[in-house]
Amino acid sequence: MILKRYQKEAVDMLLGQTKKLLAKDGSRVCVFRAPTGSGKTIMVADFLQQLASEQLQQSYTIIWISSHDLHTQSKEKLEGYLADSVYTFSLLEEVQDAAFRQNEIVFVNWHSLTQKNREGEWSNVLMRENENDRNLPTFVRNTKQEGREIILIVDESHYHYWSDQSQELVNDVIAPKLTLEVSATPTIEPSPSDVATGVAGYVVVLYDDVVAEGMIKSDIVINKKIGQYKDLRNSADEAIIDASITKQVELVNLYKQESTLVNPLLLIQLPSSSQSTSALDRSKLEFVETYLSDNHNITVENGKLAIWLSERKENLENITLNDNDVQVLVFKQAIALGWDCPRAQILVMFREIKSPTFEIQTVGRILRMPEAKHYDTQELNGAFVYTNLGKIKIAKDDDSQKFFNVYSSHREQTYKPIDLSSVFISRTDYGDLTLSFRKLFFEEANKRFGITKADIGKAAYDKADKDLELHLDELTNPVIADAIIQSIDGATDVVGDVIEFPVPEADLKYKFELFAKVTSLPYAPVRSHTKIQQAIYDWFDNFLGYRGQSRAEIQRVIVCSDVNQTIFNEIIQTAKNRFEELRKIEQEAKRRIKEYVWNVPAVDYFNENFEE
């Protein structure tokens, strides 16, 4: 996983606060607030990757909860991000054992799990006692009896999580050691005193940092040039459709000028907020389909129109791909939460809402940049909303105030170009080892010990054992005993008995981390040392058969043997040399130097909070 700077900083803060909270007594809460489009899932994945490399006092199982079917999307994403990690991934109904395993991530449909019947009993079979003991309360009870605690990750904590039934399930059934609430709009925020004293955790990703890295749009313009369509059509609904289609075609041409294959997607949201399709929705859908077909040749049949409703799904396959042929998607609010389609850039809202207040969350589906970068053409860095609302208010939070622009200002016609020459050089990396180092370490370690693909388990272990000190009797801390010096002036080597002491696990962890930090130089140790540690762990697990053993046993091999440290230092140095060569090639490929001439923009957009 290659992270942006703000993502790395957030993960470091999250890891630091989590370790402190896990070391405290009782159940703790940490809130992770990150804007829509900032990459919350990849940040949590990197956090989990690093957490696994820490030598914690206890072992843990992760329960990941999401609303409706979003838990399956989360599972697919985490499996991709953490494919080479120590974690295993299961839906709750797929759990095989009587208890959750160490480093198992269990994904749960929270909405389904928290339902109760008229008698006040849990409705879901996975919440009720049964003869097979296959239910969440039993899994949790058995897990804790085996000495493992639970970390609860709440995906989008503002949604369904704070109902009485949900809190009953969290507090009485799961009782997690740590609850990590991940949301763009968390419903609670720990007090400054609780955060300062370590009672709770709070990590924030700033919206401006996400925009600056090119991950999301720089602004949203509402009803751009809608006045041009006033006399051309009979209704506001027709006008906003025409304006949005014109904008979509304009953006297509601009992407072509950038030599990038992106087909910007136009989203049309039906008006009612109910989960099912109402009579109002059906009427509006019929109007939209007819109007798009008659006036713009956009239909389901020719593959340019997609429908996503509870009872009707058309042309949805591969719709999130940047070059997919679908131009327009008609949907309801139900799909908005958790659905990622970075090419979505225009939103038409036929919504009958009591308070026409726009928030970042309202238009979250059109925030992402299709290629996680900003373009030279500024128009491509914006998102566009067209709505039939008569009045629009911007939410009072800072992010929304900066983001939504309703008004426009135009450059004076008498303006004379000033043509300021400007140069932008993109930063290509942050001076640390990345996960690509892991593969190079594997190759160099196997080469050093003569391990081939044919060597499995004991065969590979035996080859490594010829050079490494792997047995417990070789991995101790020798202390001299009963030595007698008869003449201090003439003494050279002091001879005495040697007693072998085991090394405490706390010392193992500290010295292993120190070894990783020293060998990670000249790369930034604060993040690179975890890549060194994980590469060593994974090599022992994958090739020497250490999977399932305590990380302390691998640490002991490194820490308690000067011979082993020398060998692994040589392997790491060779792998770093290869990594540096690869890094230079990747840097050159990523390096972008943009030379351009700056002038006052022909048009700029602002909202009601502008300052003269």
Does 147 map to a domain?
yes
Same domain, 235 and 132: no
- Judge contact between 24 and 200, C-beta under 8 A: no
Same domain, 567 and 483: yes
Per-residue pLDDT at 601: 67
Is residue 476 over pLDDT 60?
no
Question: What element of type H or E holds 182?
Answer: strand 178-183
Per-residue pLDDT at 30: 94
- What gap in Å lies between CA 530 and CA 513, rounded to an integer? 8
Assign 20 a pLDDT band (cuts: 50, 70, 90). very high
**Looking at residue 194, which CATH number applies to its domain?**
3.40.50.300
β-bridge mates for residue 328, sequence order: 266, 305
Q: Which is more confidently placed, 514 or 114?
A: 514
Q: Residue 554: phi, psi to the nearest 5?
A: -70, -40
Section 502-529 average pLDDT: 78
Is residue 244 over pLDDT 90?
yes
- Judge contact between 89 and 108, C-beta under 8 A: no
Domains identified in the chain, total number:
3
Section 567-586 average pLDDT: 85
Per-residue pLDDT at 186: 82
**Looking at residue 344, which CATH number applies to its domain?**
3.40.50
Per-residue pLDDT at 328: 96
Does 427 map to a domain?
no
Does 34 map to a domain?
yes
Q: Which of 147, 182, 211 is the last residue of a domain?
A: 211
Per-residue pLDDT at 522: 84
Per-residue pLDDT at 354: 46
Distances (CA, A) of 218 to 241, 347, 360, 377, 497: 23, 16, 12, 12, 71
Which one, of 426, 525, 445, 467, lies nearest residue 213 by Cα? 426
Is residue 481 over pLDDT 90?
no
Same domain, 131 and 45: yes
Same domain, 407 and 304: yes
Does 542 map to a domain?
yes
Percent of the chain with pLDDT over 70: 76
Chain centre to alpha carbon of residue 564: 36
Per-residue pLDDT at 239: 84
Which one, of 292, 41, 30, lies nearest residue 179 by Cα? 30
Does 611 map to a domain?
no
Per-residue pLDDT at 488: 40
Is residue 63 over pLDDT 60?
yes
| Least confident piece of the model among 33-37, 120-124, 289-293, 558-562 | 120-124
Range of the domain at 565: 436-590
Average pLDDT, the chain: 80
- What gap in Å lies between CA 354 and CA 360, rounded to an integer? 18
Same domain, 189 and 44: yes
* Helix intervals (H) in 54-135: 70-81, 110-113
Backbone angle region of 201, left / alpha / beta, with phi > 0 → left and psi within -120 to 50 → alpha: beta
Per-residue pLDDT at 604: 62
| Least confident piece of the model among 45-59, 95-109, 125-139 | 125-139
Is residue 608 over pLDDT 70?
no
Per-residue pLDDT at 143: 93
Per-residue pLDDT at 491: 41
| pLDDT tens string 300-326 | 999 999 999 888 899 999 999 999 999
Which one, of 424, 426, 436, lies nearest residue 523 by Cα? 436
Q: Which of 211, 239, 273 is the last residue of a domain?
A: 211
Does 103 map to a domain?
yes
Same domain, 170 and 250: no
Per-residue pLDDT at 311: 83
| Least confident piece of the model among 115-129, 461-475, 543-557 | 115-129
- Judge contact between 35 and 210, C-beta under 8 A: yes
Section 241-253 average pLDDT: 94
Same domain, 391 and 251: yes
| pLDDT tens string 190-220 | 888 888 888 999 999 998 899 889 998 888 8
Is residue 60 over pLDDT 90?
yes
Same domain, 204 and 223: no
Per-residue pLDDT at 425: 55
Section 541-552 average pLDDT: 83
Does 135 map to a domain?
yes
| pLDDT tens string 347-382 | 888 755 444 544 555 577 888 999 989 998 989 999
Backbone angle region of 232, left / alpha / beta, with phi > 0 → left and psi within -120 to 50 → alpha: alpha
Per-residue pLDDT at 482: 36
Same domain, 319 and 362: yes
Q: Which of 211, 246, 263 is the last residue of a domain?
A: 211
Assign 483 a pLDDT band (cuts: 50, 70, 90). very low
Residue 372 DSSP label: S
Q: Which is more confidently placed, 162 or 87?
A: 87
| pLDDT tens string 221-238 | 877 777 777 665 567 788
Same domain, 402 and 487: no
pTM (2 decimals)?
A: 0.66
Same domain, 234 and 328: yes
| pLDDT tens string 29-58 | 999 999 888 999 999 999 999 998 887 878
Same domain, 76 and 174: yes
Does 115 map to a domain?
yes
3-state helix/strand/coil string of 259-277? CCCCCCEEEEECCCCCCCC
